[in-house]
Amino acid sequence: MSTWQDLVTASLIGTERAEVPAATVPGLPDRTEAVSDDPAVLLLDRAALLTVARRGGTLIRPTGPAELLPAAEPDQASAVSPAAGRRLGRMLGGEHPDLLAEWLTAAVARDRRVPAHLLPALLDRARRVSPSDPELRRLAAEAGGSRARWLARLNQDWAFVTAHTEADEDAWRRGGKSQRRAYLASLRARDPVAARELITESWAAAGPERVMFLSVLASQGLSLADEPLLEAALDERDAEVRGWAAHLLARLPGSALGRRMAERARGCVRIDAGVLSEHLVTSPPVQWDNAMRRDGVSPRGGGNLRQLDDRTHLLHEVLARTPLRTWTDEFGRTVEQILAVSSGAWAPVLFTGWSRAAMAQRDQEWMTALIDWALAGGQTGTLFGAETLRQLARRADPARCARETTATRAAETPPPVRDAISVLRFRYDMLKELEL
Amino acid sequence: MSVPEAKVSSVAERWDRERVLALAPDAPSQRTAHSLASGRAWTATGATAEADAVWGECRGSAPAPYRAVVDLTGPAYRCSCPSRKFPCKHVLALLLLWSAGSVPDDATGPPDWAGSWLMTRAGKASRAPSGDQAEPKDPRAAARRAEQREARVASGLAELDRWLCDQARQGLAASQQAGYAHWDDIAARMVDAQAPGVAERLRALASVPHSGPGWDGRLLEEYALLHLLAVAYRRQADLPGPLRETVRSRIGFSLRQADVLASGQPVRDYWQVLARRDLEQDRIRVRRTWLRGRKTGRDALLLSFAAAGQALDDSLTVGADADADLVFYPGAAALRAAVLARHGGGTVLPDDGPPEGGTIAALLAGYAAALAADPWLDSWLAVVEVIPARAPVPAVCDADGGGSLPLHPGAGHCWPLFALSGGRPVTLAGEWTPRGLWPLTAWDETGRAVPL
């Protein structure tokens, strides 16, 4: 409306120097007769009239052909329950963000998808944390379904969504590291044998990418068939590659590394019948050798083991890599029975060592028993024990710990235990909602 | 190893998480509170068994722990941290812990540092005068005060009109160089003149010269509407009653809600709670809740206010229906209402479901009609069936391709709206303003309301 623009121009200059233009509104009688001889009043009067007339007469812009977006393909999977969606919203808002990957994994496993309106926050989060956790991007893309791919076309920031779904052999041959990782991970999920062969034949030329190979092996489908590759990697020069290989072999039930560890560990912990009551007798290793180093056990303080602390550290490292069946077989007792035997001042070391082993080997029976033991007041030690309990509460099957999650808020409960209970309860509810 | 017997203490009524988070001054505070709400950071937490106080010490960056205490009856908060946010993240985290049942009841009562503060609070509360202070005691004195106020407002608005004319005379071009004081000074004079509604409009103008292309037109619009308001007040004797009420309420003559409820005609309906928007004005948080009656088709706007640290009224949930009697405030385009009574509390109403989205043309026609009655009306309930579009600016298009309207530039990318639509029509509720549509609620494919 040109009269409005004329008024704006006059108001910018000021009525001391500019004429006040006439204002007409189509369909209204001409109201330009002066009600005041002050041009400033006249300007404001006319501006008020036109302001209201323009607001009331807002015109619809015709929709241009470029404006409408192609519609997203419908999704086969259905959205999660409203309760699960609300919890995901809370997690994206900052509550237990470290459990996001578990939520997404559980949703993907049940073939359910993220509610559409939460996708922008989820994709933003996956983009931000990604360097430390490539898994989260993959999970977000998968749980986001076709709507996430549709959004990724609108916002460059989320391009990783389609990068993951479109990783093909071309990405492997010509792509950057993250694309190669994406291809390898999807091949591993589809065809573990082919993925292993690809790693084996690429190994010699891979250089620093070897760590990436091992992290893909770690993320899914680790089996004894991977052992020869990993055992050979123990002799690599790169310390990070050796560390990964030792870590994965220790996780693998029935590996030779596990048997070697069990050999070392057996002498260190035994049950003594005692005079009044039986107890666990613990004697940490007295020497460290190259064979232990090859298996990923590194000493503290240069390996001369003069201090008891250094030997304790070594025991802890060995326990963390020893197959847990070693203990039930050796003592001929259940996990609960073993943990019920008094271990005196060694309890914190045994707790953290066994907990690390249980988490690496994903042994739910041990994890549950260790949590039960800690929640019932077992001595987990100070900082290290509290951190271990924190991690256990994030990995143990919360349904098996359900008995404890309904328990206590007594004043004397130490903070780490209260924390563990609240995390277990949160995860229990979270997984229940995803079943709905 | 001996195991302490688990003690299950009686659980007093605890606030849920939503209620705690509603106290947060902003979203970052909510996030930091979450990360602090773990047992690791806190020592010496406790709550009274009657659930009227919670306290705790939190390890922060300073060598001494921060001490936070909450009087749950107020609620009132205190924390030894230097944060200027209120309540601070420590208080929020403490309340989150308490809400999750992670703060033990302490039969021995609060430690001294918390106890002394709680005692002073209790002392103040018992000294506070009881009864409704706002009730005028002496009708003659009240009439005299009202007369004085009219005189103050009249001279204040006359001064405002002279100021506006000065602006028009000298030209608005200089406003881009003017600081906030330019508007704050005249706003302060309007506060003195007891015209707070005008003061608030003036204060909001300081940001207009920096609001991008078209700022000059927007500033002229606001000056012109203020001029219109000043003229309308001067000639209020000539105005029809409802319009006079509108003018007076825009200036800031507020009616007491109790009087409105007592004198107005209640309208009973199944009110669909369609949208909600929280704003902050002068350290007061304002919640605007938009309703539409299923039977009467009438729109209503509920306002609720909260000072810093207080929670906003949360009794109406977006997406639900409320069977209630509303009373409308008098005015030319009567939108603002208050709840007189709710019926059948908590029961799900028979035809709960998404509202019917209209066309953009119908929205604009409704707004134009309301504007004819109240020319100062600058937000209007929009319920439309639209497809969101991105280019050239974020906009919504009629589902049948009729036309499009821009989204409000302040609403940002509105990604959740786009995600929800996936390029298909959605039912959308929001506020229509002269600068564009501010999206607030959309309904997903299962008919569930999603606040945006």
For residues A272-301, one letter each, b for 16 or more C-beta atoms within 10 angstroms of the residue's C-beta and e for the rest, the string is eeeeeeeebebebbeebeeebebbbbebee
CB-CB under 8 Å, B31 with A93:
yes
- The string of pLDDT tens digits covering residues B170-212 is 999 888 888 888 899 999 999 999 999 999 999 989 889 888 8
Which residues of A are less than 8 Å from B227 in CB distance? Answer: 41, 44-45, 47-48
B116: Cβ–Cβ under 8 A, 6 or more apart, which residues?
A: none
Tell whether the model's pLDDT for residue A267 goes beyond 50: yes
Residue B11 belongs to some domain of the structure: no
Q: Is the pLDDT of residue B383 over 90?
A: yes
Contacts of B388 (CB under 8 A, 6+ apart): B394, B395, B396, B397, B407, B414, B417, B418, B421, B426, B428
> B407 has which bridge partners?
B437
Residue ending a domain, choose from B219, B251, B283: B251
Note whether B320 contacts A: Cβ–Cβ < 8 A: no
The predicted model gives B116-122 an average pLDDT of 82
CB contact under 8 A, A60 and B403: yes
User: CB-CB: which of A47, A71, A95 is closest to B224?
Assistant: A47
Q: Is B121 on the interface with A (CB under 8 A)?
A: no
Q: Which of A93-102, B93-102, B196-205, B435-444 has the lowest mean pLDDT?
A: B93-102
Instruction: Work out the angle between the directed axes of helices B196-204 and B181-192 (0-180°, nearest 10).
Output: 170
Q: Token digits for A81?
A: 């329950």
Which of B40, B218, B408 is the best residue to mutate to test the A interface, defined by the most A CB atoms within 10 Å of its own CB?
Answer: B40
Please report the pLDDT score of residue B211 as a whole number.
Answer: 86
Residue B134 lies inside a defined structural domain of this protein: no
Question: Residue A5's closest chain B neighbor by CA?
Answer: B217
- Give the C-alpha distances (Å, rounded to integers) separating B213 from B135, B200, B209, B217: 49, 23, 9, 9
A-proximal residues of B, 16-75, CB under 8 Å? 17, 27, 30-35, 38-40, 42-43, 46
Structural domain range at position B402: 360-451
pLDDT tens per residue across span B272-325: 999 999 988 777 889 999 999 999 999 999 999 888 777 788 778 888 888 899
Q: Are residues B24 and B110 in the same domain?
A: yes
Least confident of A166-170, A198-202, B173-177: A166-170
The more confident residue out of B338 and A275 is B338
Helix spans in A23-99 (H): 39-56, 82-92
pTM for the whole structure: 0.81
Residue B114 maps to a domain: yes
CA of B234 vs chain A CAs: smallest distance (Å):
14
Q: Model confidence over B25-76: pLDDT tens digits? A: 777 888 888 888 876 788 888 888 776 889 998 887 777 888 999 888 767 8
Enumerate the residues of chain B whose CB falls inside 8 A of the CB of residue A407. 6, 8
Which pLDDT band holds residue B367 (cuts at 50, 70, 90)?
Answer: very high
* Pairwise CB contact (< 8 Å): A48 & B401: no
Rounded to a whole number, what is the distance in angstroms from the first to the last CA of chain B? 53
Q: Single out the residue in B298, B316, B342 at which a domain terminates.
A: B342
Does residue B6 fall inside a structural domain? no
Contact flag A117-B442 (C-beta cutoff 8 Å): yes
Residues B116 and B35 occupy one common structural domain: yes
> Which residues between 400 and 419 in chain B have a beta carbon less than 8 angstroms from any beta carbon of chain A?
401-406, 415-419
| Number of Cα atoms under 13 Å in the Cβ half of residue B85 | 16
| Pair (B324, B291) in one structural domain | yes
Is residue B131 in some structural domain?
A: no
- The beta-carbon neighbor of B171 closest among A12, A48, A117 is A12
Residues A230/A248, Cβ–Cβ less than 8 Å = yes
User: B267 pLDDT band (50/70/90 cuts)?
Assistant: very high
Residue A403, pLDDT score: 56
Which of B3, B45, B98, B220 to mutate to test binding with chain A, by most A CBs within 10 Å of its CB?
A: B220
pLDDT on residue A188: 87
The residue written with tokens 């009551």 in the block is A277
pLDDT-wise least confident of A344-358, B10-24, B271-285: B10-24
Of A150, A151, A142, nearest in space to A112 by CA: A142
* Domain contains B279: yes
- Do residues B165 and B244 both lie within one domain? yes
* Whole-angstrom distance, CA of residue A213 vs CA of residue A225: 15
Q: How much is the pLDDT for B334?
A: 87
Tell whether B305 and B396 lie within a shared domain.
no
Please classify residue A302 by burial: count the beta carbons closer than 10 Å to its beta carbon, then call 0-12 exposed, 13-18 middle and 19+ buried: exposed
Asked if residue B389 is part of any domain, the answer here is: yes
- Asked, for residue B311, whether it belongs to a domain, the answer is yes
DSSP SS3 for A364: helix
What integer best gives the mean pLDDT of chain A?
85
Mean pLDDT value across residues B390-410: 85
The Cα diameter of chain B in Å comes to: 89
Domain count, chain B: 4
**Which residues is B389 bridged to in the sheet?**
B395
Q: Of B251, B266, B291, which residue constitutes the final position of a domain? A: B251
CB contact set of A285 (below 8 Å; sequence gap of 6+): A264, A268, A305, A311, A314, A315, A318
Is a pLDDT exceeding 50 seen at residue B11?
no
Percent of chain B with pLDDT over 90: 42
3-class state of residue A379 by DSSP: coil
Could you tell me the two tokens for A112? Answer: 């359910």
> Do B48 and B92 fall into the same domain?
yes
Asked casually if ipTM beats, i.e. exceeds, 0.85, the reply is no
Residue B262 and residue B247 share a domain: no
Q: Do residue A8 and residue B9 have CB atoms under 8 angstroms apart?
A: no
Considering CB atoms only, which of B38, B392, B397 is closest to A68?
B397
Give me the helices (H) in B354-452, please.
360-373, 415-421
Compute CA distances A269 → A184, A310, B449, whole Å: 42, 17, 60
Residue of A358, A60, A31 lying closest to B363 (CA atoms) = A60
Instruction: Express each pLDDT in A376-432 by its tens digit.
Output: 877 877 778 888 998 999 998 888 775 554 455 455 677 788 788 888 888 999 999
Cβ contact (<8 Å) for B220 and A408?
no
If you compute the radius of gyration of chain B from its CA atoms, what whole number of angstroms results?
Answer: 26
Residue predicted with more confidence, A434 or B17: A434
If pLDDT is split at 50, 70 and 90, which confidence band does A299 have? confident
Q: Are residues B232 and B262 in the same domain?
A: no
Do B58 and B98 belong together in one domain?
A: yes
Sheet strands (E) in B219-363: 267-281, 284-293, 299-307, 321-328, 336-342
For residue B9, list chain A residues with Cβ-Cβ distance below 8 A. 409-410
User: In whole numbers, what is the pLDDT of chain B averaged over residues?
Assistant: 85
pLDDT for the residue numbered B160: 95
